[in-house]
């Protein structure tokens, strides 16, 4: 997976509302139609980093099947960051497609 894209995916997932690590991991996997398969463990350092930058905040809650789980939610700073990162991602994608498929223009 591209460097830094995991952050973007996590932030995007949390737009729908607070979720715990398990949900986030499965959401990314499902929504990418199983293309993006990562070890779910590698999600946690990313969560730690995002929380450290105060883009997400966390709290302990109870999961759907009554397990204690740590929930994450987007902070206002995280929302701003997400908008920025999506913008940058779009730019990057456009730029790359223009290079690899110039004929379609």
Partner 1 sequence: MGWSRFFRRRFWDDERAREIQSYIEIETDENIARGMSPEEARCAAHKKFGNGTYVREEIYRMNTIRFIESLWQDLRYAFRSLCRNPGFAATAIVTLALGIGANTAVFSVVDAIIFRPLPYRNPGQLVSIQWVARNSPQFPYFLHSLEEIEDWRAQKQIFAAVEPYSSMHDVNSPKGKVGLFPTVSISTAIPEMLGVRPRLGRSFLPEEGQPGRDQVALISDGYWAREFGSDPAVLGKTVTLDNRVYTVVGVMPRGFEFPPGLRPDAWVPWTKESNGSMFFILARLRPGLGIDQAQRETALVSDRIHCFDQELREKAIPALSSIGRRLDPQARTALLAMLGAVGFVFLIACANVANLMLSRGATRQREIAIRAAIGASQGRLLRHFLTESLVLSVAGGVAALFLASWMTHLIFAILPMGLQHLFMGYESALNGRVFVFVGIITVLACLLSGLTPAFRAARGNRILGLTETSRLTGTTRALRRFHIAFQSLQVGLALVLLIGAGLMANSFARLILTKSGFDTKNLWLVEISLPSRDKAPQAFSFYDQLKALVKTFPGVQSATISRGTPAARGYASFRLFPEGASDAEAVTGLEFFVAQDYFATLGIPIVGGRNFGLEDGPSSPPVAIIDSRCAASFWPGQSAIGRRLHSGSSSSLVTVVGIAAPVKTGAFAQPNNCQLYKPFSRAPFYASLVIRMAGNPAPVLAQVRATVAALNPKAEITDTATFDELYAAWDAHIANTPRFYLILMLIFAGVALATAAVGIYGVLSYSVAQRTPEIGVRMALGATTRDIRWLVVHAVLVPVCAGIIAGVIASLWLTKLLRSLLYQITPHDPLTIVAVVAFLLFASLAAAYLPSRRATRIDPMTALRVE
Q: Which of 2, 3, 33, 65 binds partner 1 (CB under 8 A)?
A: 65
Asked if 54 interacts with partner 1 (CB under 8 A), we say: no
Asked if 52 interacts with partner 1 (CB under 8 A), we say: yes
- Which residue intervals of the chain are DSSP H helices? 5-13, 21-31, 43-52, 76-100
Asked if 79 interacts with partner 1 (CB under 8 A), we say: no
User: Longest Cα pair distance anywhere in the chain, in angstroms?
Assistant: 55
In order of 16, 26, 86, the CA distances from 1 in angstroms are: 23, 16, 16
Residues written for the chain: 105
Nearer to partner 1 (CB atom), residue 77 or residue 93: 77
Q: Which of 34, 35, 68, 95 binds partner 1 (CB under 8 A)?
A: 68
Asked if 105 interacts with partner 1 (CB under 8 A), we say: no
How far apart (Å, rounded) are the C-alpha atoms in residues 32 and 6?
12
Where along the sequence are the contacts to partner 1 (CB under 8 A)? 20-22, 25, 39-42, 44-45, 48-49, 52, 63, 65, 67-70
């Amino acid at each position: 997976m591209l460097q830094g894209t995991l952050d973007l995916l996590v932030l995007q997932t949390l737009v729908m509302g607070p979720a715990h690590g398990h949900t986030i991991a499965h959401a990314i996997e499902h929504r990418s139609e199983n293309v993006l398969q990562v070890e779910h463990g590698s999600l946690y350092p990313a969560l730690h980093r995002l929380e450290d930058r105060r883009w997400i905040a966390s709290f302990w809650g109870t999961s759907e099947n009554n397990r204690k789980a740590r929930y994450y939610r987007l902070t206002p700073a995280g929302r701003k960051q997400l908008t920025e990162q999506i913008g940058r991602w779009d730019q990057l994608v456009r730029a790359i497609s223009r290079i690899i498929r110039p004929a379609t223009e």
